Structure 1
Amino acid sequence: MILLLDLGNTRLKFALCDGAAFTHRGAFGWDADIAHELAQLWSGWPAPTRILGASVVDGARETAVAVAAGKAFGLDPRWIRTPAHACGVTNAYAEPHRLGVDRFLAMVDAWAAGRAPCVLASVGTALTLDALDADGRHLGGWIAPGPVLMQQSILGATAQVRPDHPGAVRDLADNTADGLASGCWQASAALVDRFVARSSSLLGGSPTVTLGGGDAGVLAPLLEREVAIVPDAVLRGLAVWARSQPDAGDIP
């Protein structure tokens, strides 16, 4: 068994993988006492033989997770770093390590699942977009604030925009709360639609479009095209990596 770790900006997700199946799963927000909560939860789980992790957070949070893994299982995580090529996917970045490992592993999952050519959107703290062609080549992507972060940035930079209730997404808003929510969510939807339009011809004309991330379910209905919501793409990409690299963590 392999314990897979996805350390995202908002929360930590993890799963125990036996072959191709996830037998145990969980998640914690970073406001929790991660080291304590994880060690307590994992003490009741079967012991893995390896721990493989993908992280886009700081070293302090990686260390807290590693401490919990050591207490529960006596193992240290191996942290995946983004390579130039692995598991059938070729990184477009001239400096491969600068592409977020979460984005790379989502493409690994898409390639292994037969969804290429495709556009992959992830909607969380950031909105990321990537194009993956039929040969497993990453053609590049975009990065923008996620819709919730957009709203928070406006609230932090203005004195008068102070909604007194959560906003709803409307075609034409008649109050500040709805106007702020509508503008930010529709801006994110428009960005996804624009990226698909710009990359479609390079992807054969009719790429699959997938959404991941914690806010995928909210954004999907706002798009102008049919999309598939793909949860836990990073964990599934990690599982593909683990099967293809049975004795190694990082690939140079």
Structure 2
Amino acid sequence: MRLLLDLGNTRLKWALASANGWSARGALAWNDDVPTALASAWRDMPRPARVVGASVVDAAREADVEKIVAGTFARDVTWVRTPAEACGVRNAYAEPQRLGVDRFLAMVAAHAAGHAPCVLAGIGTALTLDALGADGTHLGGLIAPGPLLMQQSLLGATARVRPAQAGAIRDIADNTADAVASGCWLAAAALVERFARRIAEQSSKTAVRLLLDGGDADLLLPLLTVPGELAADSVLRGLLVWADAHPAATAP
């Protein structure tokens, strides 16, 4: 068994991978009591043969997680850092390490599942877009604030935009709360649609799938006017593909 760790901007997600899929899994926010929550979740779990992680957070939080893993399982964490090429996917960045490892692993998962060519949209704190060719070539992508971060930025930078309640998403809003929520969510949807259409135009002879993941993917999907589908746990699934392709020495 392998314990897979996805350290995102907002949450830590984990899964215990066995021959039959996820035998256990969970997620928690960084503002939770992470050591207590993980100790409780992992208390009765079997000791994994290997622990593999992906991180877009700071070194201090990585070190905290390493301590919890070592204290619970007496294992080190193998951190995957973004390479120029791995598992059939070739990074488009001239400086490969500058591409978020979460984005790279999502492409690894999509390629391994036979979903390429595709557009991958990560809808979370950040909104990330990546295009993956049928041969595993990363064609590039975009980064923007996620819908909730857009709202927080707007409210933090204005003096009079202070809705008293959360807004609903409408095509045309008649109050500030709805206008803020609708503007941010529909702007995110429009960006995803534009990128997907542009990639589809460049791949006119081949259908291009649009895959959405991230904490807010299920909320954005119904707002799209182009076909899309959820691809949950893409980073964890990409980690598993990477672990299979990069076996470690037998752990004691």
**TM-score category by the smaller chain?**
over 0.9
Q: Is the 8 A contact 1:36 1:68 kept in 2?
A: no
Deviation at 1:205, TM superposition (A): 4.7
Per-residue CA deviation, residues 82-128 of structure 1 (Å, 9 max, x unaligned), is 00000010000000000000000000000000000000001000000
- The answer for unaligned runs of 5 or more in structure 2 is none
Partner of 2:227: 226
- The answer for unaligned runs of 5 or more in structure 1 is none
Deviation at 1:63, TM superposition (A): 1.2
Q: Relative to structure 1, is the Cα distance of residues 31 and 37 closer, same or farther in structure 2, using a 3 angstrom cutoff?
A: same
Per-residue CA deviation, residues 181-217 of structure 1 (Å, 9 max, x unaligned), is 0000000000001101221133345200011001011
Partner of 2:129: 129
Partner of 1:6: 6
Moved runs in structure 1, 4+ residues, more than 4 A? none
Mapped partners of 1:149, 1:20: distance in 2: 37
1:243 aligns with 2:244: yes
Equivalent position amino acid for 2:38 in 1: L
Q: Once the two structures are aligned, what percentage of the paired residues are identical?
A: 60
Mapped partners of 1:67, 1:41: distance in 2: 16
Q: How many residues align?
A: 248
Equivalent position amino acid for 1:73 in 2: F
Per-residue CA deviation, residues 56-100 of structure 1 (Å, 9 max, x unaligned), is 001111111111101110011110000000001000000000000
Q: Relative to structure 1, is the Cα distance of residues 17 and 205 closer, same or farther in structure 2, using a 3 angstrom cutoff?
A: same
Deviation at 1:35, TM superposition (A): 2.0
Equivalent position amino acid for 2:168 in 1: A
Q: Is the 8 A contact 1:107 1:237 kept in 2?
A: yes
Where does 1:14-53 land on structure 2 (aligned, <5 Å)? 14-19=14-19, 21-53=21-53
Equivalent position amino acid for 2:208 in 1: P
Q: Is the 8 A contact 1:39 1:71 kept in 2?
A: no
Partner of 1:190: 190
Q: Secondary structure at the match of 2:25?
A: strand
Equivalent position amino acid for 2:226 in 1: R
Provide TM-score, normalisation by structure 2.
0.96
